[in-house]
Homo-oligomer: A and B are copies of this chain.
Amino acid sequence: MSETLSVLKEKLATIHDLNAAAAVLGWDQHTYMPKGGIACRSRQMATLSQLAHEFFTRPEIGELLDRIEQSGTLEEGSEDWAYVRACRRDYNHAVKLPSEFVVEQSEAGSQSFDAWARCKPESNFEGFRPHLEKMVELSRREAEYLGYEEQIYDALLDKFEPALPTREVARVFGEVKDELVPFCKQLFEKKDLVEDKFFFTDWDRDKQWELTIQVLKDMGYDFDHGRQDESPHPFTTDFGIGDVRVTTRIHRDQFKAGLYGTIHEGGHALYEQNVNPAYDRGSLAGGTSLGIHESQSRLWENLIGRSRAYCRHYYPQVCKLFPHNMKDVSEIDYYRAINRVQPSLIRIEADEVTYSLHIFLRFELELALLSGDLKVKDLPGAWNEKVEAYLGIRPGNDAEGCMQDMHWSDGSFGYFPTYALGNLYGVSILNTVREKDPACLQAVEEGNFLPLKERLSDWVYQHGRRYTALELMERITGRGLEAGPFVSYIKAKYSGIYDL
């Protein structure tokens, strides 16, 4: 390794430590921090991020990158070459935004988030509207700073899902939507076929917790290098490859949210725990894109966690832990209830089938807002029309309509698509596992999830950010982003459950 590259890596390691420290502070804030700690915590977080940003955007980082790139000594495709590529990407992104702009956007984002949190309970879109208009305008300016090839949205999508053009996403989402909307209509007509009322009774908290710990262990989550705690919203965070933590939220009045929140975060955590340890503290640590990350959380949550085999495997344990709740529930009823489909207004409560529709409508509205085709003042109406067109129901107010998510309030345009991309990537990856390593899925049938974890570590997790999302998909599946596998999977599974 050249001396210049060593110098660069050493500098970045320090910056990674600062970001990791900020992550510890963030974890503590959402798990154990007493409420009176927030004022000093906010300042500490701000200091750490400012220092990390300041260190990273110093001209010396750019000069080191220039020298390494110009030396021509790195073999294309090698780990060091990938390291420099990832670092260059982050660096260019960080320095393209003037620091005054970053401050303006961050302050406006805080105010807008506060306004959203204040206005949402009263479904007061008019109170929130000026803030949202400001955030749209700032995102347009951000996109101009960042630059794009075809359309303004490319620049924003690229922040979360690098190197994937909007055009391509729109094409594939369109294909899925054209199949999914009519299929959902068929399902909704038979929705009374599946019953899940028993999930919304009194479920013992400690036994739910015990079950979540068990499923994490069974997935191969390493408790020597992580832990689970409770927080208001489940999340995964890491302070390096050696310490990757998940949180969940146990509800006493329902069963599915706690368990499937854990499995979802467990999928994210398996990714982070199994990145090549040599990548720690460097530009190749972490997942390669939010879409690929989400493919792993959703693969474990939905493709595995809501599969017949998984439900069959845990059914006896669920019955043993919760004999009263499960008194009259057969194994097939349990499986069907886990997979109940219904039209719903709220994204985070949506099932595996309708979830992507919630994303598509957000993606389409984001595109229109950013291009200027849709004015913010017309957003509520446009939202409600799309919900009705895709799901056949209509929000009664904006709190359960276009104000339900926090993402837009702080200007995170370009983020939503990664959720649906995860669904598509996940099915493609699992299909390839089925084809090339069927023993892996045979083991799943028998309740042994570790071979699958090893397979995914080998194909996905260990590589960290070495390959882009599309490079990784190409290596694994030999193909790019596709609609077909996901649509086929959904149709096959749910035609079975709903006797179509």
Contact = CB atoms under 8 A, between A and B. Distances in A.
Interface stretch (A13-21, A81-89, A309-317): A13-21
> Which of A37, A225, A241 has the most chain B CB atoms inside 10 A of its CB?
A37
Interface of A is mostly: helix
A36 interface: yes
Contact of A44 (B17, B35, B47): B17
Interface residues of A, number: 40
A129 to B, nearest CB: 35
A33 interface: yes
Interface in A1-51: 13-14, 17-18, 20-22, 24-25, 27-28, 32-41, 43-44, 47-48, 51
B281 A239 contact: no
A195 interface: no
A489 interface: no
A280 interface: yes
B34 A224 contact: yes
Given A32-B227, A34-B227, A227-B32, A242 B25 contact: no
Interface string A50-71: 0100000000000000000000
A44 B28 CA distance: 16
Contacts of A280: 40
Contact of A243 (B14, B17, B20, B34): B34
Given A41-B243, A239-B44, A25 B21 contact: yes
Interface of A: 13-14, 17-18, 20-22, 24-25, 27-28, 32-41, 43-44, 47-48, 51, 222-227, 229, 239-243, 280-281
Given A21-B48, A36-B225, A40-B240, 4 more contacts: A17-B48, A21-B24, A34-B227, A36-B224
The 7 closest A-B pairs by CB, nearest first: A40-B240, A37-B243, A36-B225, A17-B47, A36-B224, A17-B44, A40-B242
